[in-house]
Amino acid sequence: MHLQDFSQYRAVSKLTSLARQPHDLHTPGGLTPERIDDFVCSSCGFDLLYGTQRINEDVLTALQELADEAGLVDAFLAMKKGEVINLVEGYASENRQVLHTASRDVFSADPFEPDSTARAKMELAKLRRFLDDLDNGVIVNAQGQSFTTMVQVGIGGSDLGPRALFLALQCYCRQGRSARFIANVDPDDAAEVLRDLDLSRTLFNIVSKSGTTLETLTNEQLVRTALLRGGLEPSRHLIAVTGESSPMDDPARYLASFYMFDYIGGRYSATSMVGLVTLGFALGFEKVMEILAGANNVDVAAEERDIRRNIPLLLALLGIWNHNFLGHATVAVLPYSQALSRFPAHLQQCDMESNGKSVTRQGKAVTWLTGPVVWGEPGTNGQHAFYQLIHQGTEVVPVEFIGFRNSQHGVDLEVAGTTSQQKLMANMLAQSLALAMGKADGNPVRYFPGNRPNSVLIADQLTPRTMGALLAIYEHRIAFQGFCWNINSFDQEGVQLGKVLANRLLEIIAAGAPLAQGKQGGKTVEQALLTKAGMP
C-alpha cells in the first residue's frame, strides 16, 4: 500500500476551489424535499441522510475523485488482507498488521487473512465452552453457586468499547446476569463498584494485552485484596484476557485465559475477546455472534467504491470536507438513544487516538489538518446543555446524529397523539433541520444563522446486529480518513511520554527522598512540582 501526501492530490485543489462558495442551505431552494430524497445512502440496515451537509453534486463528484485518487478502498482491502500498515517508514514503529476485521471474518469460507481468522475462531470456541461450563454448573464458586456478575477490569480500549457495547445492549442481558466495569486508577472507581457486589458470585475479567498496564494491575490488586478479605480464593474468581505469554498468561492465578493479539489495536478490540468475554457472559454466545455478524456485514459493504453507496466511506469524506476544506475543528456525535450514552466516549478514543497525528507515514510533518476533536452526549439531554453553542455560537460544529425508529424495550406511552419514541426522533430530525436552515429574525437574540452541516444516521432498532454494524461504520470511517491524510492511524505514541513521566514521579514518591539533583544541585522539576502540588 502506497499513499501520497494529502496536499498533492488533484482533487484537493478542486475541493479547495469549491469550498470558497459551499452550498448555502438556508437560502430559498437550499434545502428541498428533492434534495432530502436524493442525498441518502443506505446499507446494512442504516440510512445516512446527508442532504443537510453543505455539499452539492460537484462536491460529491470531487470527493469521489479524492477517494479514487487516494486509493482509499484499496488501502482498506490491504488492511483486511494483512498487509503491514501499522508503521512509519524509516523510523522505529510497531510494524504490525491491522486485523480487527479478522475477528469477525468468521462467517466466510474464504477469509481475507486465514491465520488470524483461525485464531479468532479458536478463541470463540474457547469462549463458547467457558460459557457452557458456566451454564451447566461445571464452573461454580466454592459454595457450588453460579456466578451472576462479571466485572471487567481494564482501561482505554480494554474498557471504552466493551463498556459502550454492554450499555447499548444491556436490555438483552440474560436473566440473572449483569456486568460492571473498573477502569480508572482512581481508587474510588474500584471502591464504588466493589462496595455493593456479592463477591462470592462475581467473576473479574482482567484485560491487558501486555499484562503490565499500570492502572489495570493496580486495580487487579485491589480486587484480589477484596476477595481475600472476604475469605475467597482469587484464582477461582479471576479470568484473564491478555497476550499469549504475557505475565498474565498464568493458569495458576486465573480461572480461565483468553488471548488478544498484537495485530488488533486496543481501540479496535471490542469485537475480539477484549469485549466478547464480558458481553458473552452478560448477553449469551448467540448475541455475541449477532454483534460479529453486524460488524462483518459492514466490513464487506465498506469495500464498495461508489461513495454514494458506502456509508463509512461517505462519512469519512464528508468529515474531510467539513474539516479540511470548510475549516471546522470539531465534530459532535449525538446519539438519540440513551443506550448509546458511552458510545461518544468510545469514539473519542477510537478517532482521536487514531488520527491525532502530525507526521506522515514517511515521518515528515504534515501540512494539512488531521483528526478533529470528537465529542458528544445523548439527545435530548444535550439539547438542554450545549446545543445553544452549536446553533448560535461562533464555532461551527458539524454534527452526526444517530437514531432508531423503534425503542429497545417497546415500553412506551402515547401522550398528546405521539409516543415517547416518536417525540425523541422528531426532536433529532428537528435539530438537524434547525442547524441547516436557521431562522431569520429582526431580533438578533433570536436569529439562527443556519448552514451548520450535519447528517442523520438512522436504523430501525438498536439490536446486537445493528450495534455491531454501527461500531464497524465508525471504525472504518476513522481508517478511511487516516488513509486519506497519509498518517498511521494504528499506533498511539502520544500516550507514552505521560506514562514515562508518571513513573518518574511515582519513583520519587516511593523513594520518600530526592533521587537526583538538578543541574544546579537543587530540586529537579519533578520534585518541585510534587512539592507544590502537596504530594508527599
Task: Specify which residues 179 forms β-bridges with.
Answer: 150
In single-letter form, the type of residue at position 196 comes to: D
Please state, in angstroms and rounded to a whole number, the distance separating the CA atoms of residues 28 and 337.
Answer: 33
**Going edge to edge, which strands form the sheet with 373-375?**
40-43, 46-49, 454-459, 399-404, 330-335, 373-375
Active site residue 233: no
Of these residues, 244, 493, 499, 507, which one is catalytic?
Answer: 499
SS3 382: helix
Active site residue 395: no
In single-letter form, the type of residue at position 466 comes to: T
Of these residues, 384, 409, 519, 532, which one is catalytic?
Answer: 384
Cα separations (Å) of 68 from 8, 11, 65, 75? 14, 10, 5, 11
Q: Check if the beta carbon of residue 334 is closer than 8 Å to that of residue 377.
A: yes
Give the residue ranges of DSSP H helices in 256-396. Answer: 273-283, 285-301, 311-320, 343-355, 387-392
Burial letters 270-290, b for 16+ CB under 10 A, else e: bbbbbbbbbbbbbbbbebbbb
Whether the upstream peptide bond of residue 380 has omega within 30° of 0, thus cis, is yes
Burial letters 132-142, b for 16+ CB under 10 A, else e: eebeeeebebe
Of these residues, 353, 400, 475, 526, which one is catalytic?
Answer: 353
Task: Specify which residues 226 forms β-bridges with.
Answer: none
Task: Specify which residues 239 forms β-bridges with.
Answer: 205, 256
Active site residue 400: no
How many other C-beta atoms can be found within 10 angstroms of the C-beta atom of residue 97?
21
Please state, in angstroms and rounded to a whole number, the distance separating the CA atoms of residues 145 and 291.
Answer: 29
Please state, in angstroms and rounded to a whole number, the distance separating the CA atoms of residues 104 and 299.
Answer: 9
SS3 43: strand
Non-local CB neighbours of 370 within 8 Å, separated by 6+ positions:
355, 356, 357, 358, 485, 487
Cα separations (Å) of 110 from 81, 102, 106, 119, 472? 12, 12, 9, 15, 20
Task: Specify which residues 206 forms β-bridges with.
Answer: 153, 240
Cell numbers found for residue 68: 479514487
Q: Check if the beta carbon of residue 386 is closer than 8 Å to that of residue 527.
A: no
Q: Check if the beta carbon of residue 233 is closer than 8 Å to that of residue 64.
A: no
Non-local CB neighbours of 34 within 8 Å, separated by 6+ positions:
none
Q: Check if the beta carbon of residue 93 is closer than 8 Å to that of residue 245.
A: no
Catalytic residues: 353, 384, 499
